[in-house]
Amino acid sequence: MYVALGVLLLVSAFFAISETAMMALNRYRLRHLVKKGQRAARLTAALLGRTDRLLAMVLIGNTLINVAISLLVGLIAARLLGAGEYVLLAATAAASFFIVVFSEITPKIIGARFPDQIALPSSYILTALLKIFMPVIWFVNLFVRALLALMRIKPVAQGEHQFSMEELRTLVLEGGHYIPAKHQTIMVNLFELENLTVDDTMTPRPQIEGVDISDKIEDIRNTIATAHHTRLVVYEGGTENVIGIVHVRKVLNASRREPLTKEALREVMREPYFIPEGTGLLQQLQNFQENQRYLALVVDEYGEVQGVVTLQDILEEIVGEFTSQSPSSGTMFRKQDDGTVIVEGSCTLRLLNRKLGFKFPLDGPKTINGLVVERLEDIPETGVSVKIAGYPIEIMQTQDKMVKVVRIHPTIRPAQNS
């Protein structure tokens, strides 16, 4: 009897440990092993594909074994201590103790701790048992499905659950031990890219580097020769009248044959590519690919140019900034010895957050000028101070109905309105 009791406890423990391991198994790792052709992985995936059958078999087997253990412990107690109510009570308590400790808690803890090492080998035995007890399982599941139908509960099909973008982002963040830090950063940036538009990363119109074709040809040549970008906007009279985009390399090739003229410049320039403000960055990335363009002019609802966005701007949102950049971005702010930062009013909030670690809100105005004006609801005078997102901001210069220069104290404080 003692040998039989030990065997029953082991069988019950096998059902408990295999059930827990199966449920705790990483489904994505399992799919990877299935693609590699592992037979144990294929058997495990087949078992998990019909969890109703798997759970029915495990619970039926476990229940029968536990009942047998209780009866066997009762027989052993009666043989050793005789019949009686107290003996029966002691036998029940002993059977419950053995089952809970040796066949439930301990095996399930082990199964949850080592799901891969246990679930895959167990699949061979579970698959064989499933075939043997299939008639019994089918009969039991008839009543289960009928009961679920009465309660209007529809079983969830395997693989029906789909992750949201936030869930995928959390999955990537929690996988830091398995994903290199740089790869993790790129994937997180991709998720955040869906919530960004071209307005968040474009170069504002006052900072657009371009060529005014109405200038003297000598001035045009100097502008092209000293340009910091490979593609320049060509306008006539002002940036509100853009007439084309020119590649500096094409201009240099044309000037090798003969001196550069305005007519030659018009011949090598390309038609401007306009996009509406508010276009999502992911959508614009696809548009650049489909149209084979690298630079787009962002226009508002009235058709006025608001800024320029390039393919590099979008790529930098994903992989980080490249080493080459326009000097204008470096002159947008200047760190002072006292820890404060002098910032141009046209500097974007995203640039400040990325370069200096500020936490300015990005769901409203795009520049520090717009943020200050929105908060004060007026054009402030020089010397006025305001606290935004916990940062004291001092207006140092205003001009042409806008804030030109501010001083930001980078002391991080709890975000609050003022």
In whole angstroms, what is the distance from residue 223 CA to residue 188 CA?
A: 39
6 and 122 share a domain? yes
Strand ranges (DSSP E) for 205-254?
210-212, 231-235, 242-247
Scan for tokens 């579970």, then name that residue. 126
Number of domains, the chain: 4
pLDDT tens-digit map of 341-366: 999 888 888 888 878 888 888 888 88
Is residue 311 one of the residues assigned to a domain? Answer: yes
167 and 141 share a domain? no
The reported pTM is: 0.59
Is residue 22 one of the residues assigned to a domain? Answer: yes
Show pLDDT as tens, one digit a residue, over the chain (418 residues).
Answer: 778 878 888 888 888 898 888 888 878 788 888 888 888 888 888 888 888 788 888 888 888 888 887 777 777 777 776 666 777 777 778 778 878 888 888 888 998 888 888 888 888 988 898 888 888 888 887 888 888 888 887 765 555 556 666 767 777 777 666 677 777 778 877 877 878 888 888 888 878 888 999 888 888 888 888 888 888 999 988 888 899 999 988 888 878 878 888 888 888 899 999 999 989 998 999 999 999 999 999 998 888 888 899 998 888 888 877 655 554 555 678 888 888 899 988 888 888 887 888 888 888 888 888 899 988 888 888 888 999 988 999 999 888 788 889 999 876 544 444 4
**Which of 282, 308, 325 is a domain's end point?**
325
112 and 241 share a domain? no
29 and 146 share a domain? yes
pLDDT tens-digit map of 109-122: 998 888 888 888 88
**Which of 325, 354, 377 is a domain's end point?**
325
309 and 259 share a domain? yes
Q: What residues make up the domain containing 56?
A: 2-150
CATH number for the domain spanning 260: value is 3.10.580.10
365 and 254 share a domain? no
Say if CB 383 and CB 395 are below 8 A apart.
Answer: yes
> Quick one: CA dihedral 227, 233, 238, 240, positive or negative?
negative
Is residue 155 one of the residues assigned to a domain? Answer: no
230 and 338 share a domain? no
219 and 255 share a domain? yes
Provide the b/e sequence for 283-316 (b: ≥16 CB within 10 Å): ebbebbeeeebebbbbbeeeeebbbbbbebbbeb
CATH number for the domain spanning 379: value is 3.30.465.10
13 and 120 share a domain? yes
Strand order in the sheet with 274-276: 203-204, 305-310, 295-299, 274-276
126 and 29 share a domain? yes
321 and 344 share a domain? no
190 and 66 share a domain? no
Q: What is the DSSP secondary structure assignment for residue 57, as one 8-state letter?
A: H
Per DSSP bridges, beta strands 295-299 and 274-276 are parallel
**Which of 271, 292, 325 is a domain's end point?**
325
